[in-house]
Amino acid sequence: PSDSQQSSVHIDSVLILSLLVLHPSALPILFQEEMLNKEATEGEAVTLHCKLSKSAPVEWRKGNTVLKPSKKYKIEQEGPFAELMIRDLDLADA
C-alpha cells in the first residue's frame, strides 16, 4: 500500500510466565515492568519490553504458538530484561 493507504496495527501484549519452583523457599519471579500495548504502522517494526524481578528464561508466544528468532522475530534477553521485536508488521500480528 502507498503511504496514504497504510493501516495501523494495534499490538496487544500479553506475556504469561510459567515456571516450576523446586525449592519452597525460592522467591517467585514477578514482573517489575509489565509490557505495554503498542500501536505501529503496517510494514514497520515494533518492540515489546518487560523486566522481571530476577533473571529467568522468557518464552514469547502468540496464542499457543511459541515465537522463535527469525526474519520476523528478534528475541533478546539480558538478565531480567526481555525484548521482542516484530518486524514487517501486518494485521495478523495484532
Q: Is residue 46 part of a domain?
A: yes
Burial of 65 from C-beta contacts in 10 A (0-12 / 13-18 / 19+): exposed
Residues paired with residue 31 on neighbouring β-strands, in sequence order: 52
In a domain, 35, yes or no: yes
Q: How many domains, the chain? A: 1
Q: Is residue 22 part of a domain?
A: no
15 pLDDT more than 80 = no
What's the pLDDT tens digit per position in 82-91? 999 999 999 8
pLDDT of res. 47: 92
Q: How far is CA 41 from the centre of its chain?
A: 17
CATH number at residue 76: 2.60.40.10
Is 73 within a domain? yes
Region 41-61: what's the mean pLDDT? 90
The C-alpha atoms of residue 10 and residue 21 are separated, in whole angstroms, by 35
CA gap 20, 58 in Å, rounded: 13
Structural domain of residue 36, as residue ranges? 28-93
pTM: 0.69
SS3 93: helix
- The average confidence (pLDDT) of the chain is 81
Average pLDDT over residues 11-36: 65
